[in-house]
Structure 1
Amino acid sequence: MARVTLRASGAACPETVWERYASVDQWASWSPQIRAVHCLGRRLRPGMSGTVESVAGIRAAFVVEAVDDDRRTWTWRVRLGRVRIRLHHEVRPRGRGTTTSLTMHGPRFVLFAYAPLARLALHRLVQP
């Protein structure tokens, strides 16, 4: 198993960035690889499960492990077939904007293949 951490900074305020994470209906607006999120409930919470549908129509199952609204962090596990990755997200104030980070744990080839899409999504997430 490997670990990869990505970061992005932008002018959006931390509250806005956190809301874009916390409301699953907003994921497709900043993450270009996501078409839809299918789950019960529309706000992140521990134990939430469902599927994320890609623009290519591929569905990956997920379970949210932890959410801390006060610290603006959350962790989830995603599974596509036999491939499993764990993703931990953080949102932090940075000057007048925000820095967000994503730490991924999983098979090295999967993390490196996914990193360019994740990096693009993070940069879009922190834009006003």
Structure 2
Amino acid sequence: MTVDAWVTLAVVVITVGVLIVDRFDPALVMGGAVLALYVSGVIDSGQLLAGIANESLAIVAALYVLAGAADITGAFDGVTSKLLGDADRNRPRAELLRVCAPSAGVSAFIANTPLVAMLAPRVVRWCRRTGR
């Protein structure tokens, strides 16, 4: 293996370790890992900017902004409360279907990562409200 491969392996192992410890923001950890690869000369500035300038990354970032706006304004609270309804302890599969079916339907049109970011707080609130 080359020196670049060893440096990359070390950065990956350290990054995973820091993410497992969960003491720092994941975005900061990942940015630090990329910066370490850049400073050590494993990647050049073109490769660094190619990852940041990716069109898919910009789309997902924009969807995160929309998910945050929807969460702050409560735009989907009425819809999600009607879809999720009240807990029915005798029918856990029906509850699971009420969560999964709308998510699966919407995921056909929206990227999964922002969809999870948008739905996760609502599902957590539903779980707390219903004692799940």
State TM-score, norm by structure 1.
0.25
Relative contact order (alpha carbons < 8 A, sep ≥ 6): 1 or 2 greater? 1
State TM-score, norm by structure 2.
0.25
Counting helix residues as a fraction of each chain, which structure ranks higher? 2
Which structure is larger by alpha-carbon Rg, 1 or 2?
Answer: 2
